[in-house]
Amino acid sequence: MIGFTCALKRLADSQTPPTAVLFSGGGNDSIDKLLNCFNEVLKAVAAARGHVHYVDFRPTMTDNDWQEEIHPTFTGFDKITRKFRKVIQRTLGREEAAP
């Protein structure tokens, strides 16, 4: 796993976009590892490019906020919207209005 993460980080730091990133494994544990690695790459890309903002929804969402593995419920979308709003307001230098 460490080698995979390092490879992804090198790809994120590169000026040349990758054509493919391969990951082998199976089961939910492998999916979690892949998502964690992908999020580390996104975070690195955002840090390297000052105008890109990384927003991590993983701690925001619970199992009940998902219809299935991909699509949030209405409650899940509401949580995502609120988190995006905070980042947008902060980026624009505005205080967030009470909901």
Tell me the C-alpha to C-alpha distance, in Å, between residue 77 and each of 49, 70, 84: 27, 12, 10
Which tens digits make up the pLDDT trace of 44-93?
Answer: 888 888 788 888 888 888 989 989 878 899 999 999 999 989 988 988 88
Q: Which residue has the higher pLDDT, 32 or 61?
A: 61
pLDDT at 82: 93
**How many other C-beta atoms lie within 10 A of the C-beta of residue 60?**
13
Residue 41: other Cβ atoms inside 10 A = 19
Domain boundaries, the chain: 1-52, 55-99
Name residue 89's amino acid. Q
